[in-house]
Amino acid sequence: MTYIVLHNPNCSTSRNGLALLDEKGVSYEVRKYMNAGDALSEDELRDIAKKMGVDSPRAFLRDKDAKKFELPETASDDEVFAAMIDNPRLIQRPIGINGDKATLGRPIDKLLDIV
């Protein structure tokens, strides 16, 4: 099983999460989901929510960017998923995925919960 980290190199929390995994000797692959070639599909986003054990993508939505990009608070889950696909900045990071589990690395120590 490969531990995958959804990573944005421009985010200090995401960089700190990778540093923590390195420090603990955790082997992982990085997916720079902000790059067009590594963009997440709706099915992948729905799978992440399922693996996190959450009912809504709002569990890993960046609230401040949602406001910045005028995503209404009343948006349905389908609309939130669509907005995340159109603008991956709306996705919190880092997210760790390991087999059938996923976690939002906020705080970064949570990345170790699924090792």
What are the residue boundaries of the structural domains of the chain, listed by start? 3-114
Tens digit of pLDDT for each residue in 2-46? 999 999 999 999 999 999 999 999 999 999 999 999 999 999 999
Domain 3-114 falls in which CATH fold? Glutaredoxin (3.40.30)
pTM of the full structure: 0.94
Nearest in space to 45 (alpha carbons), one of 30, 61, 68: 61
CA–CA separation, 44 vs 50, rounded Å? 10
Which residues participate in catalysis according to the annotation? 11
Coil vs helix vs strand at 98: strand
Coil vs helix vs strand at 18: helix
